[in-house]
Structure 1
Amino acid sequence: MLAVLPALLLLLLLGSRSACGVFQKLYCSFSDSCECDFKPGIRDLEWDLYKNVFGQHLAQNLVAEEVSRFLLNKSPDRPLVLSFHGSSGTGKTLVSTMLGNHLYGSAMSSPFVHQFVPTLHFPSAERVPQYQVSLSEPRLQNRHQNRSGFLNTTLLVLKLCCSGWQEELKSWVKGNLTACARSVFIFDEMEKMPAGLIDVLEPFLGPSHVVFRTNYRKAIYVFISTAGQEAIHRLVLENRLAGRDRDEIKPSDLQDVVQQSVYSNKTSGLYLSSIVQQNLITRFVPFLPLTRTHVERCVRAQLCQRGSCNRDDVVEAVGGDMTYDPAEGHYFSTTGCKAVAAKISFFL
């Protein structure tokens, strides 16, 4: 390191951009102070949540508050772990994408935002013991690195799926944390995650584990699941039948209900999870079922993106063509806003 400093300093004085990049990489490899391409825009995130997420006052407030609180803490004692729960089409994936956009400006295209899909990465439930071994033996420090020096996700996925090198997965997480302490990990479709598998990440989520050359406590983890949707749906329906406005539902009304439902659900990736037992999840974030009004707001927003804001006929047609339950009241869309884009194309 010391041997190359004179040359780097000379190049820096001459204004070489490439030298700046090389110097930054060298510095980051010896320091946990680097923030990668981290460009958090909390106010922009809050506005995006308010403007483009419909019917989710709890998720809007909880995500904005927890992310803001976490980022204001320059030395957090543990990572931020958010667990999103709710039925299909209610905005869970949308909010996770917004999070990536307003932390790195490019969401899933950023080398520091990583998405995991169980059916792709962990396809065989019966191989959980093998996966757990693989998630505890780090061996990727100098392997599968791309030109930017960051672990190549595509190569890893190919090796996991095609070569059976599942033992390198936890090492992949550790390697990305070493490359960037501010890494964001999104675990999608947690209801399809083999129960017990996610617990091997427990050392990364608590305050005691140390990852070489990085402050892993600055990372953000997001779990996305439909587990717990029945409990959420039941409470929202009871609230409506009692004549109360859905905006009166408070986080405390659902926090323990969702946590217990997810923990005791055998089809949940968090079933009997030590991560839940040890209270390592910062917040369980409930996403409420959407009414026809919310669906039509989704339709209107997507029409505006296509330059057809004034097509009230399409808004009405799509809203009326969706399926709602329960049968007695038809209050909530069974697919949320998920089918909106396809139906707009049909009616437009």
Structure 2
Amino acid sequence: MRLVVLLSLGILMILPAESFEPLTMTAIGFGIAGSAAYFRCKFTECCDDRSIPGNIGALRDSLDRTLFGQHIVKQHVVAALEAHFRSRSTSRKPLVISFHGQPGTGKNFVADQIAQALYLEGSKSGYVTKYLGQADFPNADFVQYYKQRISLEVRNQLGKCPRSLFIFDEVDKMPSGVFDTLASLADYNVFTDGTDNTKAIFIFLSNTAGKHIADHLGNLMKSGVLREETRLGDFEKLLKNAAYNLEGGLKQTALIESHVIDHFIPFLPMEQAHVVKCLEEEFWRWNMQPKKSAIAEILKNSISYDRKHNMFAISGCKTLEKKVAMVISDPYNPALT
């Protein structure tokens, strides 16, 4: 006599197989498989709401506390992500965003915070893929290979989880044309192999147009416009034109020609007041009360400003972590007393 073993709620049951109809047996099989998948996803990462909570509220709160001088970023990036997740079931294309700005203005910082908010495991999630400039695409002679590689890897990742995040950093250091195959992967499409791209997010990070942003902002401010009054519309066309015409991975790319990129986001250059806030945040990370004398020392010795407007910190907040660490590591530094 064939026996069927059932494990339910911790109770072991051994029943004759003849007491089950074939349909019932099939349902039991699916039930056991479903339960196994359920418990597996309770403890390991899966492409589900537990592992991908999409906590936009947490992102908004985090950026409000830790991102300085970037009102346009806070307003539009959060809104774009919120709209994408809210329309997850009806979205017809991926969300594609391009970050532009000088080093130290927060592009990587924001991209990392997006990953932290959207995925339970943050940037370490298996559904977050990051490419890095020359490290991943060093040779312009291999553009055709790079295009095939990106296409294959993106489609494979989307096959594993349609709600994947792709971050392309240092786009300005990538060879022109490397993103051409992405134009179809990030556009309105129905793939014959069943690949679903509509829930994905693509983010490009580039220093391209950083100086253009600084010059335009400086001119606006000198004409009487307050920094906080500037809007996305003041910069978006400038960014789109610069990205398309300047050297880098987005130069004359089909991504721009096909209008696949949904938002060009400017990261404004940092003024001294923003650098001070970054320094204070770094001291708090060391559980130390920020001291005006220590901050003044770093500002005096380590921060340079642009020649044209003499108001924007050239390196933004990029090197401040190491500057603060060096000051703190010296117990005899008079600025700490």
TM-score, structure 1 normalization: 0.80
Distance 2:114 2:225 in 1: 31
Partner AA of 1:48 in structure 2? S
CA gap 1:169/1:261 in 2 versus in 1, 3 angstroms: closer
Unaligned runs of 5+ in 2: 1-22, 329-337
Distance 1:329 1:76 in 2: 43
CA gap 1:227/1:329 in 2 versus in 1, 3 angstroms: closer
Partner AA of 2:210 in structure 1? Q
Answering whether residue 196 of structure 2 is matched by residue 182 of structure 1, we say: no
Distance 2:194 2:254 in 1: 27
In structure 1, the residue matched to 2:260 is: 280
Distance 1:22 1:300 in 2: 43
In structure 1, the residue matched to 2:132 is: 117
Q: Is the 8 A contact 1:35 1:181 kept in 2?
A: no
In structure 1, the residue matched to 2:65 is: 51
Q: CA deviation at 1:244?
A: 2.6
Q: Is the 8 A contact 2:130 2:167 kept in 1?
A: yes
Q: State the identity %.
A: 26
SS at match of 2:129: strand
In structure 1, the residue matched to 2:293 is: 313
CA gap 1:208/1:11 in 2 versus in 1, 3 angstroms: closer
Q: CA deviation at 1:38?
A: 1.0
Answering whether residue 54 of structure 2 is matched by residue 40 of structure 1, we say: yes
Distance 1:324 1:71 in 2: 41
Distance 1:286 1:62 in 2: 10
Distance 1:36 1:173 in 2: 23
- Counting only pairs closer than 5 Å after superposition, residues 207-286 of structure 1 correspond to structure 2 as 207-210=188-191, 212-265=193-246, 267-286=247-266
Cα RMSD for the two superposed structures:
2.3
Q: Of residues 304, 312, 332 in structure 1, which corresponds to 2:284?
A: 304
CA gap 1:128/1:312 in 2 versus in 1, 3 angstroms: same
Distance 1:216 1:321 in 2: 49
Q: Is the 8 A contact 1:174 1:211 kept in 2?
A: no
TM-score, structure 2 normalization: 0.83
Q: CA deviation at 1:309?
A: 2.4
In structure 1, the residue matched to 2:38 is: 20
Unaligned runs of 5+ in 1: 136-167
Q: Is the 8 A contact 1:317 1:347 kept in 2?
A: no
CA gap 1:211/1:110 in 2 versus in 1, 3 angstroms: farther
CA gap 1:7/1:113 in 2 versus in 1, 3 angstroms: same
After superposition, give the CA deviation of every residue in 1:174-203 in whole Å (9 maximum; x if it has no partner). 111010010000000000111011111111
Distance 1:314 1:58 in 2: 30
Distance 1:211 1:291 in 2: 50
After superposition, give the CA deviation of every residue in 1:126-159 in whole Å (9 maximum; x if it has no partner). 1213333xx2xxxxxxxxxxxxxxxxxxxxxxxx
Higher alpha-carbon Rg: 2
Q: CA deviation at 1:287?
A: 0.2
Q: Is the 8 A contact 2:170 2:206 kept in 1?
A: yes
Partner AA of 2:169 in structure 1? D
Partner AA of 1:317 in structure 2? E
**Number of aligned residues:** 301
CA gap 1:241/1:11 in 2 versus in 1, 3 angstroms: closer
CA gap 1:35/1:212 in 2 versus in 1, 3 angstroms: farther
Partner AA of 1:39 in structure 2? P
CA gap 1:177/1:94 in 2 versus in 1, 3 angstroms: same
Q: CA deviation at 1:5?
A: 5.9
Answering whether residue 324 of structure 2 is matched by residue 344 of structure 1, we say: yes
Q: Is the 8 A contact 1:35 1:182 kept in 2?
A: no
